[in-house]
Chains A and B, each alone.
Chain A
């Protein structure tokens, strides 16, 4: 057991650090809510990191990556956070869409898409959830029908699509056979988000922001060459995406939301304004939040160590996301309460809304990428080996299922 960088890791960290120092102005500063409010600046920042060789570190060299290790990627993430460099704008592309294209795409698709994705020349999104199938993903109904020329015609609606409003491409899961069990009749495509018939409508969230979108497909034509994997084999392709998603959300012990150091700093500034009784209670709560964050960090390190040994990330990664959302919500609630009565305002007198905003964002994080309850099912069934919940529709074709869900 050794927490210090190996000589290789230390050299890599130094190269990341000196690159960031040398390109500080081009990279910009963390501060915007997300990169989507200034897309050109965010793209320039990612392109700069790419040119330095620090984007898609674990990707194969032939697709523009570095052929590096998850530990090297974690070091890049740590150094970017430390220096206040904005997160990459194309994280969904890098973390989920790209790995899916690498695993299931044709050579032509890989050549056309992957390097541009890493440079953020093209922004990608993931078009999976539908109004009537969020957690029950395989029940989706957006249909793709092939015409005599071999082209596919897509009609239907997706929802909760992050970044669709700025995306150039998406990976799109469709139903191509309604007569078989719901997991069996699905097919995945790469879709051009600028194609005729694609309409994107942002969804405003309770936090006031609009990260998610509804996406409508009205007879959108997709050439057969844009298919990812075999016809009716889309579920297997989607599992690649979901596995990558799990890892990028919960892996490596990364913070969900503002890091614990910011909470400690906030506490240090605010605690003295409380009575001594209140201070004692607040310290216990801060201690609780800190211990939770340490547990998540070091469990992430265990995962990274396992991955470095060559073990593939399993469903255990879901535990990181679950623990992270639970801990972050407790932390945000504590941080807002430290504001005292000022916490009734969305913005305090000094203009800060960090903690209020975080508290309003986190309920969504407990749903996005698998709800806390779905993740508990995954962990219970796939890690603890508990029996599955009976599923009455598992073998039924989707067309016979009643329409349900939120409309």
Chain B
């Protein structure tokens, strides 16, 4: 067993970090919130560096890499609250499997896709999309549409409700493919959440070392320290779940439903906790418009509800676990614990 990124993936992560920190920042997210500024780095820039095509086959102009590779990049996108989301690209590249022409348009950024789960449901990246993928029974439908953008909590998500027009069935018998696409999307959403949460913890730690109150740095107070540690421990658990889930998408189809639901459910809570801790650690400045903390908080409050909320994801985890459990078996062996000294 070797549960770690390989050297290529580390190099890839570095490159992605350089790209995203050079092209997007929470300040861009604030600009979008203040006015009509586009999300950064924007569709074409992400396409040009090749990140929309990571999981698109080489024959269709992509890189033919793994979901894990994409997750590694998505984490870096999440750190700076980049948009449009790699979630949409990940999902569309599964839905368009075998359709090399359309995959090429996805990968090179010439066509902007969004996926519509249900009429009236907010769709990720719909605000800037021109082509919409949806499901009608077992058919995959491609449509144009009219997008209504409401008052977004997080403008980087490009959320909108879509009225579909000019629909065309482009594939049939796609039930399993639809489910797989949704699961891969959940994993990439969790990966973006991982990056955002990790960055929130870093920002909180940096401030706790710098800010002084009552004659000492506030990070020396256990009340502050312990909040940050709990967020950090959550982030590390989430990192393990995201990597595992991405690996199952590539290598272990049987575990994918459980792993994707686990990563999604964990991400919702971990990012919320990290973002709320970030505000709390900063005190008064933490809830001002000018500080970045609320931009991470906004991301958390939106992401928790996308692609199913945490409650439904936990429910799915439980159903999958129960489905594989033996029933009416004797109770398990009594507890065997090895406590040690309280030192």
Contact = CB atoms under 8 A, between A and B. Distances in A.
B213 interface: no
Nearest to B217: A387
B229 to A, nearest CB: 4
A1 B222 contact: no
Interface residues of A, number: 103
Interface string A155-199: 000011110000000000000000000000000000000000000
A212 interface: yes
The range of chain B's interface size is 35 or more
B331 interface: yes
A87 interface: yes
B341 A264 contact: no
A22 interface: no
A349 interface: no
Interface stretch (A55-63, A103-111, A219-227, A353-361): A353-361
A357 to B, nearest CB: 6
Which of B1, B244, B247, B338: most chain A Cβ within 10 A? B338
Contacts of B252: 3
B338 A33 contact: no
Given A161-B341, A271-B322, A33 B240 contact: no
Given A1-B6, A376-B225, A385-B209, A264 B340 contact: no
Given A287-B265, A299-B237, A386 B205 contact: yes
Given A71-B1, A379-B229, A129 B342 contact: yes
A96 B340 contact: yes
B336 interface: yes
B321 A301 contact: no
Given A1-B247, A33-B336, A373 B222 contact: yes
B226 A257 contact: no
Contacts of B232: 319, 379, 383-384
Contacts of A242: 343
A313 interface: no
Closest 5 pairs between A and B when the two form their complex, measured CB to CB: A287-B314, A295-B237, A262-B332, A298-B240, A386-B219
B219 A380 contact: yes
Given A2-B2, A291-B314, A301-B3, 8 more contacts: A71-B1, A257-B337, A284-B318, A286-B321, A290-B318, A291-B265, A302-B243, A304-B3
Contacts of B236: 299, 316, 319
Interface string A317-332: 0010011000000000
Interface of B: 1-6, 68, 201, 205, 208-209, 216-217, 219-222, 224-226, 228-230, 232-233, 236-241, 243-244, 247, 252, 261-262, 265-266, 311, 313-319, 321-322, 324-329, 331-343
Given A1-B243, A6-B1, A126-B340, A379 B233 contact: yes
B280 to A, nearest CB: 15
B262 A380 contact: no
A308 B2 contact: yes
B237 A258 contact: no
A129 B209 CA distance: 32
20 contacts: A1-B5, A1-B6, A128-B341, A134-B342, A160-B341, A161-B341, A264-B321, A264-B322, A264-B325, A267-B321, A268-B325, A283-B315, A283-B322, A286-B314, A291-B265, A295-B238, A299-B239, A299-B240, A385-B205, A389-B221
